[in-house]
């Protein structure tokens, strides 16, 4: 039941917005920005506005590597 209640709160607009935040952090190669984006993404996912796994799958493998490297 919890999964269905979370799905009903998903905001389709949040998905592309989160992807854009991640891609900006990567393009700028900015660690502080990447950490801020990760915090925003975590908050959006915890509140049920977006799905972390779906966002991660939408990134290319190179983007996944670059974003992860910025967070280290």
Return the ∠ at Cα 50 (arms to 63 and 9), rounded to 5°: 170
**pLDDT, average across residues 4-22:** 70
Please give the helix or strand (H or E) that residue 5 lies within, else none: helix 2-9
pTM: 0.79
Provide the 3-class DSSP secondary structure of residue 37: helix
Residue with token string 């991640």? 22
Q: Which two tokens stand for residue 70?
A: 């910025």
Question: What is the tens place of the pLDDT at every residue in 22-61?
Answer: 999 999 999 999 999 999 899 888 888 888 999 999 999 9
Compare 1 and 32 and report the one with higher pLDDT: 32
Cβ neighbourhood burial of 15 (10 Å; 0-12, 13-18, 19+): middle
Residue 28 CA to residue 13 CA, distance in Å, equals 23
């Amino acid at each position: 039941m919890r999964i269905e209640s979370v799905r009903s709160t998903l905001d389709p607009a949040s998905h592309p917005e989160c992807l854009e935040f991640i891609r900006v952090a990567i393009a700028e190669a900015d660690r502080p920005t990447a950490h801020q984006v990760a915090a925003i993404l975590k908050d959006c996912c915890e509140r049920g506005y977006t799905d972390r796994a779906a966002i991660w799958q939408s990134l290319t493998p190179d983007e996944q590597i670059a974003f992860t490297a910025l967070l280290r």
